Chains A and B, each alone.
Chain A
């Protein structure tokens, strides 16, 4: 019997998974847009984005636009690969239930 894959625990968290999926559909996204789309609080969102950054799955660019701070997040190549692997593993785990 083939061994079942393990799901990446960094991605498996619901908010982190939502963030990676959101970032996979865009080139870059502002913190405020991610907050609006996930309905998360500033603190929780910041903490989860930091975890993704530390894992090398997301990168951030901080700058000032019209004297206001702006944080732009991007999905890294490692993040895209990890998300793809996660989806493959998820589908494998679900197996026949997908049909």
Chain B
């Protein structure tokens, strides 16, 4: 068998492997702000539509928000000293959100142009798609808070199929508040603590 010093050395190697694998898988990239950002963008679009009923308010707000979001991501990426490596989970989450964004960009304007668009259909479709993306991300990350957020979106999607226009609006605004603003702020707090912990261990 091994002597005590050798045993310590081998245990040290095992610890090194474990800590390095964990280091590689750690994804402390900050994305929670995007939830708050898009939540606020939805509120701007809702407010704008309610203010003057301009039919292009949603399209213009979402287009502007997309450009601004892209610019912030580019800027943040440029400020990072070294590029974070890609992981399979990271790529799966990226693919889920990209596919959801593309579906929304294609389906919602098509519904608008075809004249088959109404508030209930809009909220049901948007909430259902956000439920899908949050649900998939939550399952991939094994993050209960995001799965809970997905459940709220799915419930909002079902609720949007019933009731009056006003009730539908209240459901949408409430879902945005809980699933975008509250969840986003919670995520930002978690990311901030993870960064502090990382700095402490560095």
Contact = CB atoms under 8 A, between A and B. Distances in A.
Interface of A: 12, 14, 17-18, 21-30, 32-33, 35-37, 83, 87, 90-91, 93-95, 97
Contacts of B11: 94, 97
Contact of B83 (A14, A30, A35): A30
A27 B107 CA distance: 33
Nearest to A25: B24
Interface in B14-49: 14, 16-25
B43 to A, nearest CB: 36
Given A17-B13, A21-B21, A94-B14, A36 B7 contact: no
Contacts of A95: 1
Contact of A24 (B13, B21, B82, B91): B21
B87 interface: yes
A27 B25 CA distance: 10
A26 B16 contact: no
A93 B10 contact: yes
Contact of B24 (A12, A26, A87, A97): A26
Interface of A is mostly: helix
B195 interface: no
B181 to A, nearest CB: 32
B81 interface: yes
A35 B23 CA distance: 13
A24 B16 contact: no
B114 interface: no
Nearest to B24: A25
Nearest to A19: B20
Contacts of A28: 85-86
Contact of B85 (A29, A83, A93): A29
A41 to B, nearest CB: 15
B52 interface: no
Task: List 4 tightest A-B contacts by C-beta distance, closest first.
Answer: A25-B24, A21-B20, A26-B85, A29-B85
Contact of A26 (B2, B82, B86): B86
A23 B85 CA distance: 9
A37 B135 CA distance: 32
A26 B7 contact: no
